[in-house]
Chains A and B, each alone.
Chain A
């Protein structure tokens, strides 16, 4: 995996990721549905925290899958 230098959310001026926006959230989970660490995604700490929260909400609302082998 290539590293990304910049925080996606800072770059795109997204203050808080929307947990309902699966298109964006799914960029930050691997094929098993695990959240990608920020050392790889390049997100800043503040945004990674908000992103993690959004992904967890998305899982509760069945917008994203929980971690599993059969994801995708």
Chain B
């Protein structure tokens, strides 16, 4: 069993006056192929006037993950970090991170994606945008 923290960011496109993003982080226990349990989730909204660069993305992820109590590497989709090689991305984070590899890590990212997507929808509805 392995502890991981899967993250995903929704809303990386411009709406009206800026970028309304939501980052979701999910702490899970996984085997190589299955999700065994979910211990915590954290959601954080971010508003940025311009398109986020890779450092902004790193900050968004770290800010969201800081609310998670469990340890374990952060699992990020390569595309979320503009397809930078993994070893370069690793250097930008203050804690252990990697791109998703196993089926369970992919499932975890998918799960985080649904959370960030639906919470962003809710946020946009509350703010009366879109």
Note whether A and B form a binding pair: no
Chain A residues at the B interface, C-beta cutoff of 8 Å: none
Chain B interface residues (CB < 8 Å from chain A):
none
